[in-house]
Amino acid sequence: MLIRFVKDSIRRAPRRKALIVAAIAMGSAVATSMLGVMLSIGDKVNRELRTAGANIAVTMRAAAMTGGVGSVTTATASGSANYIAEADVPKLKGIFWGLNITGIAPSLAAQDGALPLQGVRFTGLRQVNPAWSVQGRWAEDLSNDCMAGEGIANRMNWKLKQQVTVLGAPCKISGIISSGDEADDRVLLPLARVQQLTKRPGVVDRIDVAALTKPEDDFARKDPKLMTAAELERWSCTNYVVSIARQIEEALPGTQARPVRRVADSEGKVLDKVGGLMGLITLAALFSAGLTVWSLTATTMMERRGEIAIMQAIGGTRSLVAVILGLEVALVGLLGGIIGAFTGVWLAHFVGQSVFNAPVEISPVLPFVIMLAAMLVALAGAAQPLRRSLNLEPATILREGL
């Protein structure tokens, strides 16, 4: 009997029901696409932001760190305590978050008179700083080539393919770098060549690391020494830049790994804004759908006051009538949710390819969550008109002849 009543009730005012279904479907489609993209594309956005350069700098604790390649220089005193063994660099890939590390650039600072130099692995440097503009070509790690920053090249009047003398040895300028930071004011040579010319074999004084990280929140900024065992495990198992830096220090004893705040903070802000924007669009879409349901349901309830009064007059309790009418609204919302969820999956793939140029993987759970949310939005939108209609006195409505 209940099913028959609900089915007959749904058939009434088909245009109005179609409008409710359309509103719920549109809101559900937007919600599915935005949530799908936000949950799937985070690593893609993070990888795009990795073009900003290294977000972790590793030096020995005895060294006074004032920067590094693509960012700053490192002032070190003489003595092996200020150097990291080059053979230890691969250990960074062995930490828990090793797969999140997208680039490692070890370097060794030197000075030729007033000329600042940096010995680097060009392969790693290119991975860490893919946004650098290079006039000419990147130098090879096993060569006598070098690269000059744009600023120092202009001051020295150096040109591409020019032969220059650095640390008493000749090198040919294969490329001129435009980085927008301190790298513009130094000469970059192969790491092995600087080690040889400065008689510091097998060591580096800095490692720049680019890693995919999660934006820091209040929990990330807590002091690990004050955490409980459960909190420390959660903190360590979250790819915060500070937790990755801590693991690097554990893998390379005697070093200190510091987040490059200029890079890490800007990444966090961008990711937060992207996620916040998508979340806001999702809420706006669902809220708009709820308002549409409220408007259409209010009109429907006004027209069905007499029917509701008769149901109450013949013995139907308010809770029973509310269940019958609520079930009708929920089924209409479910239909809109089903249409919107499948449309949203297609829309998410379209947004991923057109905006981020990357495929979007939608969790199979998401459409079902959206369908449930669509039902809840429909019920929330219809709640006030339903409650108002049920609070009317049946005798008064029937006396008016409605």
- Decide if pLDDT at 54 tops 70: yes
Average confidence (pLDDT) over 239-260: 92
The pLDDT of residue 78 = 46
What Å distances lie between residue 52 and 81, 118, 209, 262, 285, CA to CA?
31, 20, 12, 10, 33
The pLDDT of residue 71 = 44
Distance CA 119, CA 128 (A): 15
The pLDDT of residue 8 = 57
Task: Detail the DSSP E strand segments found in 76-191.
Answer: 84-85, 101-112, 115-120, 133-136, 145-149, 163-166, 169-178, 187-190
Distance CA 326, CA 330 (A): 6
- Decide if pLDDT at 50 tops 70: no
The residue count for the chain? 402
Distance CA 171, CA 146 (A): 6
Among 188, 109, 110, 102, which Cα is nearest to 145's?
Answer: 188
Helix (H, G, I), strand (E, B) or coil at 2: helix
Give burial (CB, 10 Å; 0-12/13-18/19+) of 242: buried
Is residue 339 within 8 Å of residue 21, measured between CB atoms?
yes
What Å distances lie between residue 402 and 302, 308, 349, 395, 399, CA to CA?
10, 10, 51, 11, 8
Dihedral of the CA atoms 274, 278, 279, 282 (nearest 10)? 180
Helix (H, G, I), strand (E, B) or coil at 208: strand
CA angle at 394 for the pair 5 and 331, rounded to the nearest 5°: 30
Is residue 293 within 8 Å of residue 20, measured between CB atoms?
yes
- Decide if pLDDT at 56 tops 50: yes
Q: Work out the percent of the chain whose per-residue pLDDT is above 70.
A: 81
- Decide if pLDDT at 194 tops 70: yes
Q: Hey, what are 294's tokens? A: 């409220």
The pLDDT of residue 116 = 94
Among 92, 84, 93, 371, which Cα is nearest to 203's?
Answer: 84
Give the residue with greater pLDDT, 20 vs 174.
Answer: 174
Dihedral of the CA atoms 397, 21, 14, 7 (nearest 10)? -70
Dihedral of the CA atoms 20, 23, 26, 28 (nearest 10)? -70
| Cα-trace Rg, the chain | 32
Distance CA 28, CA 21 (A): 10
Is residue 185 within 8 Å of residue 117, measured between CB atoms?
no
Q: Enumerate the β-bridge partners of residue 100.
A: none
Among 271, 247, 251, which Cα is nearest to 259's?
Answer: 247
For strands 115-120 and 187-190, give the pairing: parallel
Q: pTM for this structure? A: 0.61
Question: How confident is the model over 15-42, as pLDDT tens digits?
Answer: 778 888 898 999 999 988 888 887 776 6
Average confidence (pLDDT) over 253-275: 72
Distance CA 68, CA 60 (A): 13
Residue type, 20: I
Query: Which of 45-54, 195-204, 271-280, 351-360: highest mean pLDDT?
Result: 195-204
